[in-house]
Amino acid sequence: MSALSENKAMITACEKNKIRAERLKYNLERQGTKGINVMVEDARKLDNFFSFDKILLDAPCSGSGTLNFNETAMSETFTKELIERSVKVQEELLKKALKIVKPGGEIVYSTCSILKDENEDVLNRVLSKENANIVPIEKDLLSDMPVLPTTIDGTVCILPTNIYEGFFVAKIRKNNV
């Protein structure tokens, strides 16, 4: 995002894990980025005083789009409880993002999951109570990528292959009040 804006965007990144936040800061410095503030903070706990034009919400998830289902430990790590915990956090993060994005502002919601529970179901539950709508993603941008069907028009779910990891992405606009 910094490179796309030629270091002109003011970016705030939230990472609740201190070690990951330090690694992010280190990588940003190595890349010569400017105007990025990394906060060691759970984004769900951000004060509502914050206000953003745009938010990239790369939500924690089960990682179902990146899993190797041939691994023997899969049944121990990929559980119904993991999905349920992920969905709860995703909904909380999306609700917070919708509170702190400005009217007319946009949120890109993404996960590395291909499960409807973590993607379309989360969006449907949260957006049904909010003044926001899906902005269709241009399918032409993804013409060479294998996609899975989604239940919300304008969203994209990429099929995991030997070339691509699977992921989901939706663009949301908060309507003007």
Cα–Cα distance, 61 to 126 (Å, whole number): 16
CB 115 within 8 A of CB 151: no
Catalytic, 112? Answer yes
Cα–Cα distance, 170 to 161 (Å, whole number): 21
Cα–Cα distance, 76 to 56 (Å, whole number): 31
Cα–Cα distance, 108 to 128 (Å, whole number): 17
- Identify the active-site residue in 14, 61, 112, 157: 112
Q: Which tokens hold the place of 96? A: 């917070």
| Catalytic residue set | 112
